[in-house]
Amino acid sequence: MKSLKRDGKTIQWLKENVQFEQSGSNVYCDEAEYDPQTQDLLGRGNILITNPDGAIVTGKTLEYNNASHMAKVIGNVKLIDGTMELSTPWIEYNTQTKVGWYGSGGNIIDKETTLSAKSGSYNPNKKILFFKNNVVLTTPEYTVKTDTLQYRTDTKRAQFFDQTQLDYQTKIVVFQRGFYLTEEQKGEFYGQVALFDQGKTVVCDTLYFNKITQVGLAHGNVYIQDSIDQWKVWGKHAQYNGLAKSIKVWNQALSYQGEAKNPFKLKADTLAYNSDSAQPVALTATYHVAFSQDNTSGKCNKLTSKRSDSTFYFSGDPVLYDSLSRVSGDSIEMRVVAQKVKELKAFKHGFVAIQEDSLHYSQIQGDSIHQWMDGNQKIEKVRVVGNAQSVYYLRNADTLESANLVTCESMKMGFDKGKINQITFYEKPVGTLYPIDQLPAVDSKLKGFVWDMQNKPSEKLFLPPHTVGIPELPYPKGEKTKPKSKKSK
């Protein structure tokens, strides 16, 4: 060690293999100048700071104050702690608290995980890294872009405090805050969350997602859109399974399927939808089911839809309505073509009631009823098989003149503008024809007749339960920074 005079001060000059200890940390460099008055030390060449916990800092130049215990390492700086390595132009470091920070950009490598940011800090005692401004976290499987991020090197947990975008394979997740476990590949996200996945969009308030199982749980104001199969779904809770290609929505579940002008509307306690073409069942709705398609609507306790034939299957006290008729049975099938109801089938205790006027109703009853619809969704023809019964009215112009009561094994009816205009009976028909004014009241209604148009699902029932705002990608087209907002002129 030599003493030098500089600006009226005595400076101590140390050269070759300089080493000193401070608060358990060892500091090494090639040469150093030390001012005893200010307790400032300037070290040059091969800077190395080692800590008892194993963390080390290296660089080209060291500025250190013994009183404040603050060290600033400059030039190709590296901070290494276990498998984590930080590279940055400079870092400030407290030798007592072991806390370091940088502000001119830095990159971190931890095994296969890399992270870059304009500024950040590291607390080795708590194993916490904190990053700010243009933060990009990259793994072999995904990339995270955000403005503020906290990362724990011990638990591999990334915590987000600002608008964030997570990209992996074909999927993108956007959220306001949350956390992600980088090794377990699962996380929780909050605040206008959106998941985009190959034509599907899931929007919610909270999302729990596991990348390995590809299962997500969405809560809050849930909205799901499938642009490929033309589905829109609302609800309070949802489960998304990417591997099974399935979505289940419950609590105020509502869906629209088909073209925007005339969709098939469906409401239920729970909706389950599968987009896997290998699965025969595309849709299942359970409990308090209501639906509407053009002029046809109805209700039941369970609805399923098969992908192969565009047929809906209703069970659990199903009832279908249009403007002038009511269809019921133990179970009902409805075939839809080009978003129009083409056929209805009612099995076991099938019943069709058709309003003729405010007092009279034509009725058809049997073990099974097959009903065809015309292009205007009006009944075109009906075939009844097994224990067929009917009450139908004959008209003279627009005036009801007589009522025909018929029992037989089966029958076939033709309709014009929703009214019976021809009928054929098979196998021992027995019938009675009454003038309209002589029809006994007891014979005017078949057993099982119900007319409850007041219970027909209204359009108000199918209004979306909440408004939807799909957030834009904060980092579009692979950009690492947010696009600057355009100033209004």
| Residue 394: alpha-carbon gap to chain centroid | 55
Give the pLDDT score at 487: 38
pLDDT at 464 over 50: yes
Of residues 162, 186, 164, 183, the one with CA closest to residue 173 = 164
C-alpha pair distances (Å), 228 with each of 110, 201, 207, 281, 450: 39, 11, 23, 17, 40
Q: What is the mean pLDDT of residues 406-411?
A: 94
The pair of three-digit structure tokens given for residue 417, joined into one six-digit string: 């503008």
Give 486's pLDDT tier (boundaries 50, 70, 90): very low
The pair of three-digit structure tokens given for residue 40, joined into one six-digit string: 């400032």
Gap between the Cα atoms of 189 and 169, Å rounded: 19
Give 331's pLDDT tier (boundaries 50, 70, 90): very high
Burial of 322 (0-12, 13-18, 19+ CB in 10 A): buried
Q: What is the mean pLDDT of residues 348-359?
A: 91
DSSP 395: E
- Residue that has been written with the tokens 């025969």 in this structure: 280
| Residue 469: alpha-carbon gap to chain centroid | 13
Q: What is the mean pLDDT of residues 148-165?
A: 91
Tell which phi-psi region holds residue 367, choosing left (phi > 0), alpha (psi between -120 and 50) or beta.
alpha
Give 395's pLDDT tier (boundaries 50, 70, 90): confident
Give the pLDDT score at 481: 63
pLDDT at 4 over 50: yes
Superfamily covering domain 1-104: Lipopolysaccharide (LPS) transport protein A like domain (2.60.450.10)
Give the pLDDT score at 485: 42
CATH T-level fold of 309-438? lipopolysaccharide transport protein A fold (2.60.450)
Topology agreement, domain 1-104 and domain 309-438: yes
The predicted model scores a pTM of 0.80
What percent of the chain has a predicted confidence (pLDDT) above 70?
96
Give the pLDDT score at 210: 92
Domain ranges of the chain: 1-104, 309-438
The pair of three-digit structure tokens given for residue 320, joined into one six-digit string: 């279908």
pLDDT in tens, 258-278: 877 788 899 999 999 888 888
